[in-house]
């Protein structure tokens, strides 16, 4: 395949007008007929001018010579110039970009078509820095919620049979899928696509970059990249309010370390604390804990030396869960859980909740499973802490479940079901997860 020399693309040539002046400076020729515009462009490749449209007065048309014809584009301005998605400081920049793009697209249509048929991506991983992680990742199987079958058994009253053998997920391992978080990006200097290895042409917005892992690809290639984003810790600026899956991928853990660390601390010294999770700690101190996690990550000090009051740690955990951009029980599945809670028959209700749990993203599922096991242990100290599964349901219902569209009425209407879902998950933690 012949390499394309971008220097062969036509250079832009301004055709100026001595009389008319506008935001386009002297490029604007007023309402001249198409034919006259053609004459001015004089068949010179890359020559361009701006005229007012005769068909739609008040709108501007960019006339540009390329491929031995005059191409006409409706030209827009909103502080920057554009004909399509990309915005430019000057019309000259816009034309330069257009000429390169047109050149590549016409002279190398075949080349572009072939670009994505033989991606380098799968063979190489996307950067040498991440290569080790990548090999590591590819060698692992996908961990997700396991399917538990409900079987009837005459010997026990509950129809739910727990398969304890399934509870064998190794700790501290993370193989969840995560989609890349691509944003249009302007690259300085020449860049090559990390999916197809081809040049990223254009002056600005040449491609997209994943803001979690830094992967750079063509916009068209971004649709072909697998959901294997491995967030870079340096790019994840916060711990709180960070997407749950993104955080666990960045830290390479099964669950968010905030959840693990807070639960560890609470189980160490707070299980008998009266009103655990119900009594709120000082909000400034809870805010301190949040800042400590955002700043120090897993090195954050949440020990008794730093925060003697366990309610601060419990409050920080609740805050973390409440501030997730996507709640632990995701917006998508919210109504499924609410509907499940409304089922009158206890057995079918539990099955419906279980169905919902299986659809959670793996990182969400693992977090919920761990949290429910912990809350179950909290209820074992009910005599001291006075926290029953129902009480905890009231506390954690609105924290773990938030309606996709917040309004006072749904929030009020769903409170009972939110409480019930959490209460049931605690009470039946052993069979549901
Ligand atoms: Zn990514
Ligand atoms: Zn590409």
Q: Which ligand is nearest to the Cα of residue 199, counting in written order?
A: 2
Residue 207 has pLDDT above 60, yes or no: yes
> In terms of domains, do 10 and 71 share one?
yes
Task: Indicate the pLDDT class of residue 151, thresholds 50, 70 and 90.
Answer: very low
Q: Which ligand is nearest to the Cα of residue 207, counting in written order?
A: 2
Q: Which ligand is nearest to the Cα of residue 121, counting in written order?
A: 2
CA distances from 299 to 291, 293, 303, 403 (A): 12, 8, 11, 33
The arithmetic mean of pLDDT across residues 298-323, rounded, is 96
Name the residue among 268, 261, 267 with its Cα closest to residue 292.
261
For position 15, what pLDDT does the model report? 83
For position 418, what pLDDT does the model report? 96
Q: Is residue 181 part of a domain?
A: no
Q: Is residue 101 part of a domain?
A: yes
The residue length of the chain stands at 433
The arithmetic mean of pLDDT across residues 206-220, rounded, is 91
Bridge partner residues of 120 (DSSP)? none
Running DSSP on this structure, what letter comes out for residue 138? H
> In terms of domains, do 408 and 425 share one?
yes
Q: How far is the CA of 118 from the centre of ligand 2 (A)?
A: 10
Strands annotated E in 54-129: 60-66, 69-77, 81-82
> In terms of domains, do 318 and 341 share one?
no
For position 125, what pLDDT does the model report? 43
Q: Which ligand is nearest to the Cα of residue 178, counting in written order?
A: 1
Q: Is residue 218 part of a domain?
A: no
Strands 182-185 and 81-82: unpaired
Q: Which ligand is nearest to the Cα of residue 228, counting in written order?
A: 1
Q: How far is the CA of 242 from the centre of ligand 1 (A)?
A: 14
Q: Which ligand is nearest to the Cα of residue 227, counting in written order?
A: 1
d(CA 84, CA 75): 9
Q: Is residue 336 part of a domain?
A: yes
> In terms of domains, do 312 and 363 share one?
no
**Residue 107 structural domain:** 6-111
Strands 207-210 and 81-82: unpaired
Q: Which ligand is nearest to the Cα of residue 212, counting in written order?
A: 1
Question: Most distant CA pair in the chain: distance in Å?
Answer: 97
Q: What is the full DSSP assignment across 289-304? A: HHHHHHHHGGG---ST
Q: Is residue 120 part of a domain?
A: no
Q: How far is the CA of 10 from the centre of ligand 2 (A)?
A: 23
What lies within 8 Å, CB to CB, of 382 at 6+ separation is 388
Task: Indicate the pLDDT class of residue 98, thresholds 50, 70 and 90.
Answer: confident
d(CA 307, CA 171): 27
> Residue 57, Cβ neighbours under 10 Å: how many?
8
Q: How far is the CA of 400 from the centre of ligand 2 (A)?
A: 39
Phi and psi at 13, nearest 5°, equal: -130, 120
Name the region of 324 (left: φ>0; alpha: ψ -120 to 50; beta: rest).
beta
Bridge partner residues of 329 (DSSP)? 401
> In terms of domains, do 27 and 94 share one?
yes
Q: How far is the CA of 159 from the centre of ligand 2 (A)?
A: 53
For position 173, what pLDDT does the model report? 47
Q: How far is the CA of 218 from the centre of ligand 2 (A)?
A: 4
Q: Is residue 337 part of a domain?
A: yes
Q: Is residue 64 part of a domain?
A: yes
> In terms of domains, do 45 and 89 share one?
yes
> In terms of domains, do 373 and 423 share one?
yes
Give ion ligand 2 contacts, CB < 5 A. Answer: 193, 195-196, 218, 221
Residue 172 has pLDDT above 70, yes or no: no
Task: Indicate the pLDDT class of residue 275, thresholds 50, 70 and 90.
Answer: very high
d(CA 167, CA 11): 65
Running DSSP on this structure, what letter comes out for residue 118? S
> In terms of domains, do 287 and 368 share one?
no
Answer with the one of 300, 322, 344 that is the final residue of a domain: 322
Q: How far is the CA of 209 from the centre of ligand 2 (A)?
A: 12
The arithmetic mean of pLDDT across residues 124-145, rounded, is 39
Of 104-113, 222-231, 275-284, minimum mean pLDDT range: 104-113
281 touches 262 (CB < 8 A): no
Residue 149 has pLDDT above 70, yes or no: no
Higher pLDDT, 17 or 109: 17
What lies within 8 Å, CB to CB, of 425 at 6+ separation is 353, 368, 372, 432
> In terms of domains, do 420 and 388 share one?
yes
**Residues of the chain with pLDDT > 90: what percent?**
50
Tens of pLDDT, residues 371-409: 999 999 999 999 999 999 999 999 999 999 999 887 777
> In terms of domains, do 317 and 397 share one?
no
Name the residue among 388, 400, 212, 233 with its Cα closest to residue 322.
400
Answer with the one of 297, 322, 347 that is the final residue of a domain: 322
Q: How far is the CA of 208 from the centre of ligand 2 (A)?
A: 10
Task: Indicate the pLDDT class of residue 130, thresholds 50, 70 and 90.
Answer: very low
Q: Which ligand is nearest to the Cα of residue 130, counting in written order?
A: 1
Q: Which ligand is nearest to the Cα of residue 243, counting in written order?
A: 1
Tens of pLDDT, residues 4-52: 566 677 888 888 877 666 667 778 888 898 889 999 998 899 999 999 9
364 touches 259 (CB < 8 A): no
For position 155, what pLDDT does the model report? 36
- Angle (CA) 302-303-308 rounded to 5° is 100
Higher pLDDT, 118 or 309: 309
Q: How far is the CA of 329 from the centre of ligand 1 (A)?
A: 23
Q: Which ligand is nearest to the Cα of residue 198, counting in written order?
A: 2
Global pTM reads 0.63
Q: How far is the CA of 108 from the centre of ligand 2 (A)?
A: 14
For position 120, what pLDDT does the model report? 65
Answer with the one of 86, 111, 136 that is the final residue of a domain: 111
First to last CA, the chain: 55
Q: In what order do the strands lie in the sheet with 207-210?
A: 182-185, 207-210, 216-217
We report the CATH number of the domain holding residue 293 as 1.10.555.10
Q: How far is the CA of 287 from the centre of ligand 1 (A)?
A: 29
Tens of pLDDT, residues 319-370: 999 999 999 999 999 999 999 999 999 999 999 999 999 999 999 999 999 9
Q: Which ligand is nearest to the Cα of residue 230, counting in written order?
A: 1
Domain count, the chain: 3
Q: Which ligand is nearest to the Cα of residue 118, counting in written order?
A: 2
d(CA 332, CA 125): 32
> In terms of domains, do 303 and 400 share one?
no
The arithmetic mean of pLDDT across residues 207-226, rounded, is 91
For position 310, what pLDDT does the model report? 97
> In terms of domains, do 241 and 283 share one?
yes
The arithmetic mean of pLDDT across residues 413-423, rounded, is 95
What lies within 8 Å, CB to CB, of 29 at 6+ separation is 15, 17, 20, 37, 40, 49, 50, 51
d(CA 77, CA 87): 9
What lies within 8 Å, CB to CB, of 164 at 6+ separation is none
Q: How far is the CA of 231 from the centre of ligand 1 (A)?
A: 6
Q: Is residue 211 part of a domain?
A: no
């Amino acid at each position: 395949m012949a390499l394309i020399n971008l220097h062969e693309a036509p250079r832009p040539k301004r055709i100026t007008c001595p009389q008319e002046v506008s935001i386009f400076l002297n490029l604007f020729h007023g309402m001249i007929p198409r034919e006259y515009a053609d004459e001015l462009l004089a068949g010179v490749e890359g020559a361009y001018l701006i005229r007012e449209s005769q068909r739609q007065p008040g709108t501007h048309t960019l006339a540009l010579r390329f491929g031995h014809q005059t191409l006409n584009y409706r030209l827009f301005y909103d502080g920057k110039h554009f004909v399509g998605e990309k915005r430019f400081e000057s019309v000259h920049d816009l034309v330069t970009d257009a000429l390169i793009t047109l050149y590549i697209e016409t002279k190398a249509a075949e080349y572009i078509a072939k670009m994505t048929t033989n991606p380098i991506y799968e063979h190489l991983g996307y950067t040498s820095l991440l290569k080790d992680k990548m090999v590591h990742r590819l060698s692992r199987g996908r961990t997700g919620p396991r399917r538990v079958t409900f079987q009837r058994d005459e010997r026990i009253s509950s129809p739910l049979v727990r398969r304890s053998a399934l509870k064998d997920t190794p700790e501290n391992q993370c193989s969840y899928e995560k989609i890349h978080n691509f944003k249009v990006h302007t690259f300085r200097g020449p860049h090559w696509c990390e999916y197809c290895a081809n040049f990223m042409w254009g002056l600005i917005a040449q491609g997209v970059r994943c803001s979690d892992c830094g992967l750079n690809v063509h916009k068209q290639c971004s649709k072909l990249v697998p959901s294997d984003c491995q967030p870079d810790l340096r790019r994840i600026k916060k711990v709180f309010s960070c997407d749950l899956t993104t955080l666990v991928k960045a830290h390479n853990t099964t669950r968010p370390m905030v959840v693990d660390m807070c639960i560890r601390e609470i189980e160490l010294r707070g299980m008998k604390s009266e009103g655990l999770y119900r009594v709120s700690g000082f909000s400034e101190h809870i805010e301190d804990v949040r800042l400590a996690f955002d700043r120090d990550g897993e090195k954050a000090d949440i020990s008794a030396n730093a925060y003697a009051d366990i309610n601060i740690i419990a409050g920080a955990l609740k805050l973390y869960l409440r501030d997730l951009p996507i709640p632990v029980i995701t917006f998508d599945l919210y109504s499924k859980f609410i509907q499940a809670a409304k089922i009158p028959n206890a057995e079918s209700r539990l099955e419906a909740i279980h169905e919902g749990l299986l659809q959670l993203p793996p990182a969400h599922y693992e977090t919920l499973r761990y949290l429910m096991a912990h809350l179950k242990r909290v209820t074992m100290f009910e005599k001291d802490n006075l926290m029953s599964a129902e009480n905890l349901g009231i506390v954690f219902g609105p924290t773990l479940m938030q309606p996709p569209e917040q309004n006072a009425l749904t929030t009020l209407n769903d409170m009972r079901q939110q409480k019930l879902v959490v209460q049931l998950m605690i009470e039946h933690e052993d069979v549901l997860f």
